Structure formats: structure tokens, C-alpha cells
A and B are shown apart, each in its own frame.
Chain A
Amino acid sequence: MNSGRIPWGEGHHDAYRRAFNRVTGMVAICEDLPEEHNMVTLDPVLTDSDGIPAPKISYRLSENSRRMLDHAVARGTEILKAAGAYDVATEAPLRLAGWHLMGTARMGVDPQGSVVNAWGRTHDVRNLFIVDGSLFVTSAGVNPTSTIQALALYVADAMKERLASLFD
């Protein structure tokens, strides 16, 4: 109804019945390159009730991301039409969907090329541990929450094993 394919009013019921049980879809998940124009900073104006600056997310699609989306739409349309679709609607990017912020704090042994060590402790601050999607080096191809949870549990277990020397 929001796209206009199912009208309001008199034509609604017939149009709905033409589409009912005859609609399918595809989703393509794409990944931005690590582009510096996409960032999370401290908002210069907006704060919470305690005066702490709010996070400010700056994001825009690069040409590479746009081309990936266009490719995904073209291939998806091709597949659906091959399967018999006669009316293909596309939306790219999908506004009302999951957009995950990941990366920028990768694990590694070399502080020159990584932010945290093999068990999530930052190289620069020994009592700081990172346990969220920042540890990802790429965004992967599916929903990241389960993997983020697994990484968080892994870092927590590593901390428990090293309590006596955690900040050494």
C-alpha cells in the first residue's frame, strides 16, 4: 500500500487479491569500504541529560557502495524475472532495514596495524577492552549480532582466565 501498488479505495481488494500469495523478494547485503567520510564523532552541540556529548553518525554512500547496490539490484531483478516475475519493485538502499556499524578496532599482534590484541585488550590502554562489532575487519555477509555476542563472550572468557595479570 505504501508503494502504491495496492491502491486505496475501490481498487484495493482486487489489487490485493492479484498479489496475494504471489509476492516474493530478495535482499542483497553490501559492505562499505573503510571510507574516512563515514565516522562516529562526539556531537558539538547535542548532549544527554548529564551533559555528555551524544554520538554523531556521519554517513553517505560512496560511488563504490552505490555501484554495488546497483549491481545487486540488477542481478536480483534478473533472477526474479527468470523465475517468472512480471512486476519487480526495487529499493536500494533500503531505508527501513538493518544498517550495522562495524570495524575500526581490529585484533592483531602488531600495534602498528591493529587496535586490540588477540583477546580484545587495546594496545594503548591496558584496562580498556573492546567487545562489540568494532572488532570486525569486514562486515561479513549476514546479520552480525550472533557473531558480536560470540566475540563478547570470547573476550569475557579471556579476561576471566587472566584476572591476576589482566592489566600487565
Chain B
Amino acid sequence: MGTPTPITAPSTLSAGQRDALRALIGLMIPASAKHGVPGADDERIFADILASAAPIADRVAELLRRLDELADEPFADLDPARREQVAQRLRQGRSSLLMGLVSVVAQCYYRDDRVMRALDMEVRPPFPRGFDVEQGDWALLEPVRRRSKMYRPT
């Protein structure tokens, strides 16, 4: 099955905002030679993230403004160590804006063919064929079955 073309709108982020976003997501999920995978800032994955985040572009833009405020200068212009520091401060704020972006990044990253292959996954969506789940040891639930009732009879 070929890679489907997502239904998307063009990104409304400026070039500077895209640079900052790419720098940020590169910190979230960096490339790994050990595991043979690209980072989230890989060109193909970043394009998927930009397209998938288009519906929340205004919130992403707001998040990037906060990032620049924390840095006191454009985030994309910082050296790697300073970027790391500022990104951690952003993360400590536990903003819902950031949580939304992280969800999009993780979703796009882990559906990239190269990443899926590195995880020994079949490169296909779960539907319609599904996946077989290895059955565990049901005897592990015996202590739960043996315990006394925890509800009142009707």
C-alpha cells in the first residue's frame, strides 16, 4: 500500500515560525543512529507535522511566541544548549498548547514508514486487518477472582 496523501491545508506559519517549530520538535524526538531512525525534524516527518497541525496553527503560533519570550530572542537562533534550556522551561509550564503539539508530533513521527520498520511493525494502518495480540497468562487474575465481593447486592 502506498503512502496516502493526507487531506491538508497549507501551513499558515511564517518561515521564522517554521524554523522555530522544527528546532523545537528536533529536541522532542531527535534522530538516533543507535536505533536507525530520523528525528521528528526530518524533512518528510516535519512536512507531515506541519500539515497535520494546520487546524491548530494559531495555537502553535501562540506557543512559538511564548517560546521566543522565554528565550528573549528568536528560539531558532539559539545555540543547542540554550535551546535545550528554554525548551525545558516551556515544558515545565505544562501548557495545554504544548500538549496538543506533542500529540501531533508523536502521531506523525510514529506513523513514518522508517520509524515503523525500525520498530519491526508492518508498515500499514491497523485498520482493517488489525493485529494479533499475544495472549498473556490469564492465571494472573486468580487473586482478583478469589477476593471477596466489593459491591452491595441489589
Contacts and interface: CB of A to CB of B under 8 A. Distances in A.
A83 interface: yes
Q: Taking chain A's interface residues, is the majority helix, strand, or loop, or is none over half, making it mixed?
A: helix
- Chain B contact residues, majority secondary structure: helix
Interface stretch (B13-21, B28-36, B53-61, B65-73): B28-36
A14 to B, nearest CB: 8
Interface residues of B, number: 23
Nearest to B142: A82
A83 B30 contact: no
A91 to B, nearest CB: 13
A92 interface: no
Interface stretch (A2-10, A111-119, A142-150): A2-10
A85 to B, nearest CB: 10
Contacts, number: 41
A8 B141 contact: no
B153 interface: no
A2 B32 contact: no
Contact of A9 (B30, B35, B102): B30
A67 interface: no
Contacts of B136: 83-84
A12 interface: yes
B116 to A, nearest CB: 11
A1 B32 contact: no
A84 B137 CA distance: 10
9 contacts: A1-B102, A2-B99, A8-B27, A8-B28, A8-B29, A9-B27, A13-B32, A82-B143, A84-B136
Given A8-B27, A78-B144, A82-B140, 9 more contacts: A2-B102, A8-B28, A9-B28, A10-B30, A13-B35, A17-B119, A20-B119, A79-B141, A84-B140
